[in-house]
């Protein structure tokens, strides 16, 4: 911080640092913040690669035996995978062809079945971090789950921020009737306990990634609305806004070109707080079966599977999902803290 | 309060009216003739214009008569009466315990601010908050109930004492542990705000011992924001523990709503949402009045 003050003092002719550049300088000095930024960036690269199919593209392939052991526990017995082979009936086969009504057609069906080539790829006994009930690679699932969960969290947060900012800006800037009306809408949304609101929305819309984003976005905008509205009330009467009015800037221009950059730091911090809380919500919704559809994987659906797996001692899916989620959310939360400190004008 | 409540009613009504599926088709099930659907539609008043339907909805709310659940045929009012005690049995101890544990913890952390203890606890809190609530419950239930057998895995009885002493402890302990981290972190900032004030320096300057400063001066002032936060949590005691209730099959209100969502049981969802919203508003009003007693500076208008 001292360095910033010095450069400004020594070279007054040079243009002083903008708020974002100054924040970036401060963020770079925060060691925890930089590490967290690295972790978050790594996750973002990972989910980008996963989105284009370079990583974890084959998460649905049943590569290993059911509940394949992790490679580092390869010598542990795996009773559950053998149970499938033991399913063959014991004792001599009973001939029931005289009473079986389908008996005449078996020959025809067998011939038709023989025409279709079935290849069953060799199943590995161990996978890098174990396999799930169908022998799918848990590590690939966790990466794919990270993609879905983070995608949902980020987009729902963007939607909530958009709604909250536009409504907050309108309420704070215009005030009056429009402000009163939006206050009423805000009161209505906050009067209903959050989880009930989410459940009510979930009851009427179907299942799917887009609906989860919609539910979280439509129910989670209230906090950001409140803060943005307060900022706009403060800024609307400031001189720079009135100067803009004097040179003929329209309402929309004043709201979003002049004021918005000045409250952008509030919005950004709230956005990242929302990402964390929405990822947690998505995980819970998916766990309850109200979230992502069955053919997709998210950290929540992994945890839902892990609950039954834990009872038979298969802990790796739970561990993988928990580790991925904990590392990402810790890094993101600490980054948000660092960001808030870096953007706080009072600390300058 | 009245306009807000009206807004809640409108929101719920239009949400289910325009975005929800056709109630008649949900009620009639997969195999139903057109006539059956028409007849259900007439019974529910769905053939009427929407303002008449809204009027029916309002009458249901005011008369506390939401009819029967579509799926179980249980009276909705009966669902409230039978599920609420179970929810409260779990939630009230959770709320009391977490607040009573978080306050001393936060005070300790705030007192040692900037030191290694403070930083460690804050980072542990962030880490603990990043692990999903689900994981704590899954692992806790597995270890303490399934493996060690200290508690029953799940269950509920008719007797209040048996519930409180046998079935409720594990859910209560797990939920308290989970909410401790975020609350400690939040209360720490409240205490830090107070410790930075001039009156603390004055108290130190006149030679008061640290214990007296922390417990009589700082604690009393920090309690005001803490109470605000607790008041925000308070409405959650009715349905907030829905995850706990689902995991431990506790027949509470939260689990009931979850089941209703899965079954598209609209009357139950609507009734619970509207009444809990009304209850939330009443609680907020009561806490506003209580403020006057905690903080004499507050003036009620």
pTM of the predicted model as reported, rounded to 2 decimal places: 0.82
Q: Where are the alpha helices (DSSP H) in A192-298?
A: 194-204, 209-219, 222-236, 239-246, 251-253, 260-287
Q: What is the pLDDT of residue A84?
A: 52
> Nearest-CA residue of chain B relative to A313?
B142
Which residue in B138, B242, B269 is closest to A303 by CB distance? B138
For residues A334-348, give the mean pLDDT. 75
Percentage above 90 pLDDT, chain A: 11
Residues from chain A that touch B138, judged by Cβ atoms under 8 A, are 303, 306-307, 310, 318
Do the chains contact at A299 and B132, CB–CB below 8 Å?
yes
For residues A282-295, give the mean pLDDT. 84
Best residue in B135, B196, B271 to probe A by mutation, most A CBs within 10 Å?
A: B135
Contacts of B23 (CB under 8 A, 6+ apart): B40, B44, B46, B70, B266
Position of tokens 């005001």?
B224
Q: Given pLDDT bands bounded at 50, 70 and 90, which one contains residue A155? A: very high
**Structure-model confidence comparison of residues A85 and A112, the more confident one:** A112
pLDDT at B7 > cutoff 90: no
**Structure-model confidence comparison of residues A240 and B285, the more confident one:** A240
Tens digits of residue pLDDT in B103-137: 988 888 888 877 788 778 878 888 888 887 888 88
> Nearest-CA residue of chain A relative to B253?
A196
Residues from chain A that touch B261, judged by Cβ atoms under 8 A, are 199, 202-203, 290
Do the chains contact at B243 and A204, CB–CB below 8 Å?
no
**Structure-model confidence comparison of residues A181 and B214, the more confident one:** A181
B209: number of Cβ within 10 Å: 9
Q: Can you tell me whether residue A322 is helix, strand or coil?
A: helix
Tens digits of residue pLDDT in A229-265: 988 888 888 899 889 989 988 888 888 888 888 888 8
Q: Examine the predicted complex and report whether its ipTM is higher than 0.90.
A: no
Contacts of A237 (CB under 8 A, 6+ apart): none
Q: Given pLDDT bands bounded at 50, 70 and 90, which one contains residue A164? A: very high
Structure tokens at B23: 């109630």
Which residue in A300, A307, A325 is closest to B130 by CB distance? A325
For residues B192-206, give the mean pLDDT. 86
Q: Where are the alpha helices (DSSP H) in chain A?
A: 2-10, 19-29, 31-52, 79-85, 106-115, 138-174, 176-191, 194-204, 209-219, 222-236, 239-246, 251-253, 260-287, 299-311, 316-343
Structure tokens at A224: 């950001």
Asked whether the beta carbons of A312 and A227 are under 8 A apart, the reply is no
Structure tokens at B207: 């030679």
Q: What is the pLDDT of residue A80?
A: 65
Gap between the Cα atoms of A61 and A134, Å rounded: 9
Q: Mean pLDDT, chain A, as a whole number?
A: 81
Structure tokens at B29: 């099930």
Q: What is the pLDDT of residue A154?
A: 92
Q: What is the pLDDT of residue A346?
A: 61
Tens digits of residue pLDDT in B14-55: 787 777 667 777 776 666 677 777 777 777 767 777 777 788
Q: What is the pLDDT of residue A1?
A: 42
Gap between the Cα atoms of B214 and B183, Å rounded: 19
Best residue in A146, A191, A328 to probe B by mutation, most B CBs within 10 Å?
A: A191
Do the chains contact at A204 and B3, CB–CB below 8 Å?
no
Tens digits of residue pLDDT in A177-236: 888 899 989 988 888 877 888 888 887 777 778 888 988 998 889 989 989 998 888 888
Asked whether the beta carbons of B279 and B114 are under 8 A apart, the reply is no
Do the chains contact at B4 and A187, CB–CB below 8 Å?
yes
Shortest Cα–Cα distance, A232 to chain B (Å): 24
Q: What is the pLDDT of residue A91?
A: 67
Q: What is the pLDDT of residue A160?
A: 94
Q: What is the pLDDT of residue A285?
A: 87
The alpha carbon of residue B64 and the mean position of all alpha carbons in its chain are separated, in whole angstroms, by 22
Which residue in B10, B135, B239 is closest to A196 by CB distance? B239
Least confident of A11-20, A291-300, B64-73, B168-177: A11-20
Residues B55-91 as b or e (16 or more Cβ within 10 Å = b): eebeebbeeeebeebbbeeeebeebbeebeebbebbb
For residues B257-262, give the mean pLDDT. 83
Q: Given pLDDT bands bounded at 50, 70 and 90, which one contains residue B289? A: confident
Shortest Cα–Cα distance, B292 to chain A (Å): 22
Gap between the Cα atoms of B102 and B190, Å rounded: 12
Tens digits of residue pLDDT in A2-21: 444 444 444 455 667 777 78
């Amino acid at each position: 911080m001292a360095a910033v003050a010095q450069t400004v003092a020594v070279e007054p002719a040079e243009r002083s640092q903008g708020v974002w550049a100054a924040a970036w300088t401060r963020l770079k000095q925060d060691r925890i913040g930089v590490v967290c930024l690295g972790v978050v960036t790594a996750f973002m690269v990972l989910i980008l690669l996963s989105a284009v199919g370079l990583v974890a593209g084959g998460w649905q392939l049943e590569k290993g035996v059911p509940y394949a052991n992790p490679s580092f526990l390869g010598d542990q017995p795996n009773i559950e995978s053998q149970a499938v082979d033991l399913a063959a009936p014991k004792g001599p086969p009973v001939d029931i062809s005289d009473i079986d009504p389908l008996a005449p057609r078996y020959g025809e069906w067998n011939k038709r079945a023989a025409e279709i080539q079935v290849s069953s790829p060799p199943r590995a006994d161990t996978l890098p971090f174990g396999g799930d009930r169908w022998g799918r690679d848990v590590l690939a699932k966790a990466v794919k789950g990270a993609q879905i969960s983070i995608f949902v969290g980020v987009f729902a947060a963007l939607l909530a921020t958009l709604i909250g900012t536009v409504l907050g800006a309108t309420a704070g800037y215009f005030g009056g009737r429009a402000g009163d009306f939006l206050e009423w809408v805000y009161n209505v949304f906050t009067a209903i306990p959050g989880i009930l609101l989410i459940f009510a929305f979930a009851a009427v819309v179907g299942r799917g990634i887009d609906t989860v984003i919609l539910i979280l976005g439509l129910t989670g905008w209230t906090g950001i609305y409140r803060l943005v509205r307060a900022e706009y009330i403060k800024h609307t009467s400031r001189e720079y806004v009135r100067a803009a009015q004097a040179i003929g800037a329209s309402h929309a221009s004043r709201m979003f070109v002049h004021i918005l950059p000045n409250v952008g730091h509030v919005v950004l911090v709230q956005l990242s707080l929302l990402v964390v809380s929405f990822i947690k919500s998505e995980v819970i919704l998916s766990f309850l079966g109200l979230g992502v559809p069955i053919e997709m994987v998210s950290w929540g659906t992994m945890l839902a599977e892990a609950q039954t797996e834990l009872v038979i001692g298969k802990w790796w899916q739970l561990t993988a999902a928990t580790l991925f989620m904990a590392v990402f959310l810790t890094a993101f939360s600490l980054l948000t803290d660092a960001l808030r400190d870096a953007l706080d004008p009072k600390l300058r | 309060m009245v306009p807000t409540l009206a807004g809640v009613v409108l929101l719920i009504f239009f949400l289910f009216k325009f975005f929800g599926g056709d109630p008649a088709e949900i009620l009639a099930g997969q195999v139903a003739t057109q006539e059956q659907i028409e007849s259900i539609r007439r019974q529910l008043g769905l053939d009427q214009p929407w303002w008449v339907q809204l009027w029916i909805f309002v009458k249901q709310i005011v008369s506390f008569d939401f009819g029967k659940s579509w799926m179980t045929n249980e009276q909705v009012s009966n669902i409230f009466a039978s599920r609420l005690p179970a929810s409260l049995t779990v939630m009230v101890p959770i709320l009391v315990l977490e607040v009573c544990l978080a306050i001393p913890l936060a005070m300790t952390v705030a007192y040692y601010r900037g030191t290694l203890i403070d930083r460690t606890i804050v980072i542990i809190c962030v880490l603990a908050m990043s692990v999903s609530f689900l994981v704590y419950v899954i692992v806790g239930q597995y270890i303490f109930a399934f493996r060690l057998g200290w508690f029953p895995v799940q269950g509920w009885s008719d007797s209040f004492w048996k519930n409180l002493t046998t079935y409720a402890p594990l859910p209560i302990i797990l939920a308290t542990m989970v909410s401790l981290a975020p609350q400690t972190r939040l209360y720490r900032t409240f205490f830090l705000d107070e410790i930075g004030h001039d009156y603390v320096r004055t108290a130190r300057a006149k030679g008061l011992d640290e214990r007296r400063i922390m417990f009589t001066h700082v604690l009393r002032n920090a309690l005001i924001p803490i109470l605000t936060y607790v008041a925000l949590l308070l409405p959650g005691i009715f349905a907030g523990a829905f995850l706990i209730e689902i995991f431990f099959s506790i027949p509470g209100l939260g689990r009931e709503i979850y089941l209703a969502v899965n079954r598209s049981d609209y009357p139950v969802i609507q009734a619970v949402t509207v009444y809990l919203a009304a209850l939330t508003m009443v609680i907020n009003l009561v806490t506003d009045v209580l403020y006057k007693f905690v903080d004499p500076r507050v003036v009620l208008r």
